[in-house]
Chain A
Amino acid sequence: MVGLNHYLVLSTILFCIGIFGVLTRRNAIGILMSIELMFNAVNINFVAFSKFVTPTDFVGQIFAIFVITIAAAEATVGLAIVLLIYRNFKGINVDNINIMKW
């Protein structure tokens, strides 16, 4: 029987993979994909909590739909900015996008 804990472990692993990807990926689109992974980990959390904690209430599921929508909006803007980066820097490797240093 798959219980709440299984979902939470899955979402935590997914979230950690996302953070790891953000920190280690050198490709800007790879970083954006890792951020999407983090959002999806949160969605699993919300849906699982909605099923197990508040079975009669749909707040968690509605929240997940909002998260998906906003993640899509953010990805749109994100890809547009990556396109600008590509035009300016002739590449999307984040190691090269480092004009400003402290």
Chain B
Amino acid sequence: MTYQLLLPQIFLFLWAILIFIIDFVRKEKKHNLAYVALLGIVITTVLVLTSQKGELFGGMFQADSFSAYFNLIFLLTGFLTIASSVEFTQRLPSNKGEYFGLILLSMVGMMFLASAGDLLTLYVSLELTTIPLFVLASYRKDEFKSTEAGLKYLILGGISSALLLFGISLIYGLTGTTFLTEVRTTLIVRFLSTGNVGPALVLGFIFMIAGFGFKLALVPFHMWVPDVYEGAPTPITAFLSVASKATGIAAFLRVFFHAFLIFQVDWVMLMAVLAALAMIIGNIIALLQTNIKRMLAYSSIAQIGYILLGVVAASSRGVSSVAFYTFVYLFANMGAFITAIAFSHKTGSDEIKDYAGLSRRSPALAAMMAVFMLSLVGIPPLAGFMGKYYLFSAAIEQRYIWLVVIAILTSVISLYYYLNVVRQMYFQTSTEESPILMGAALKTALLICVIGVLLLGIYPNIFLNFANQAAMVFHY
């Protein structure tokens, strides 16, 4: 057994503890711990890139190309979140250091989750991911909206993990094991000997899909999303909308593609319907929003619908397109949120109508926001187009024409609200003329996002190769 496989996770965990200790010990709270946290993330990224493949604890912990790929997504999201939090934490009255420690702890949970080969590891790391996020969502203690967001997130998070656990307990009762590979073999043996596996398995699927549905913010389970996204501090909203969703996707793929792919007739249609609902309802309600954070919340619900197209395809091409689109979504969505952060630091407003005349106030910021919006719609040559192209082609390959038709129609609807932001920035005028000033960290984060969106759109192959490798982990 080589514990080296755990090195990135252990290192990041110790780094988080280090940040808590520094924050506790130091007398003068002048310096910002953000840069310490960023250094930790960079070192962890190096460790992930150089780490070996293998498994630990009899398969409870899997370090493979899938986990490495998703670890990079989590690390990059964490990096961008922390870089965009520098100014936010400077304005906090107290507890400036803990903030970063909690983000790192949540990332440790995500990284463990991407490697979960057992339902116990999966559950524990999922909770390690979400419990720090409850605290972070209600981080502005004296602000009504933030605490309300924290409470709503907490209650819905609790219900979702209870549902997930009930599903896990049924699967355990049916198979007598929690190892995903053993669950798979037991179910196959049972299926071959008796011809069916009974309603308990389907019930387990439904409970687990409901549990993951809360994390992924699928449509019947999305009520908490807009409120939490609006109330939470904006960097945390960005983190939630990208990292938390990527976690849900990684967990879903691990469980359903590792253990239950053989029984896809029982759950694929359900996922297809959920995907269609997410695309339709997310896009239509987004049309009505006037607050940029709520608009992006509904847009993220719609985006998860597109991502599910690849899951529904249930093929290696599907999984690789899901993995690829997660990266695409990361850059575009983080970029949009970082722009919103920069804008609200200066103006104190999250309303879309206040973006009027931004192209004259700070042309660079407006241009970047336009790039992110167009990428979220899926306009070539930006990343969103390539991502959607791979997702749609994976679904068409498996004959889900109706789903792709819905996806294309709802993409057209989404043009309206994404371009509304662009219209405000470029074609509306305002009396305000002062430019939006940004710190170095925010500028770097924005630049990374723009480069990512352009690079993935123009040279998708670099990342697509990694995504294909990640998809090879599962047996189809």
Contact = CB atoms under 8 A, between A and B. Distances in A.
A82 B135 contact: no
A45 B141 contact: no
Interface string B145-189: 101111100110111011101101110110011100000000000
| Among A19, A59, A89, residue most surrounded by chain B Cβ atoms (within 10 Å) | A59
Where chain B touches its partner, the secondary structure class is helix
9 contacts: A15-B166, A35-B159, A57-B176, A63-B168, A73-B127, A74-B158, A77-B154, A100-B148, A100-B226
Contact of B148 (A19, A42, A54, A99): A99
B170 A100 contact: no
A100 B151 contact: no
Contact of B226 (A31, A49, A102): A102
B294 interface: yes
Interface string B132-152: 001100100111110111110
B135 A77 contact: yes
A42 B151 contact: no
Given A81-B134, A84-B138, A102 B294 contact: yes
List the 8 shortest-distance A-B pairs measured between CB atoms, nearest first. Answer: A38-B162, A49-B173, A45-B169, A35-B158, A42-B165, A54-B176, A84-B147, A100-B227
A53 B159 contact: no
A74 B120 contact: no
B354 interface: no
Interface in A1-59: 15, 18-19, 22, 28, 31-32, 35, 38-39, 41-42, 45-46, 48-49, 53-54, 57, 59
B141 A84 contact: yes
A45 B138 contact: no
Interface in B202-231: 226-227, 230-231
Contacts of A99: 144-145, 148, 231
| Among B161, B163, B230, B231, residue most surrounded by chain A Cβ atoms (within 10 Å) | B161
A80 B136 CA distance: 12
Contacts of A49: 169, 172-173, 176
A53 to B, nearest CB: 5
Given A84-B138, A88-B144, A100-B230, A45 B170 contact: yes
Given A57-B176, A89-B144, A100-B227, A45 B166 contact: yes
A81 B165 contact: no
Contact of B169 (A19, A42, A94): A42
Nearest to B223: A102
Given A42-B165, A81-B134, A66 B123 contact: yes
Contacts of A53: 172-173, 176
Nearest to A48: B173
B155 A100 contact: no
B364 interface: no
B138 A100 contact: no
A101 to B, nearest CB: 8
Contacts of A66: 120, 123-124
A38 B163 CA distance: 8
B287 to A, nearest CB: 12
B406 interface: no
| Among A57, A70, A81, A84, residue most surrounded by chain B Cβ atoms (within 10 Å) | A81
B285 interface: yes
| Among A15, A77, A87, A98, residue most surrounded by chain B Cβ atoms (within 10 Å) | A77
B131 interface: yes
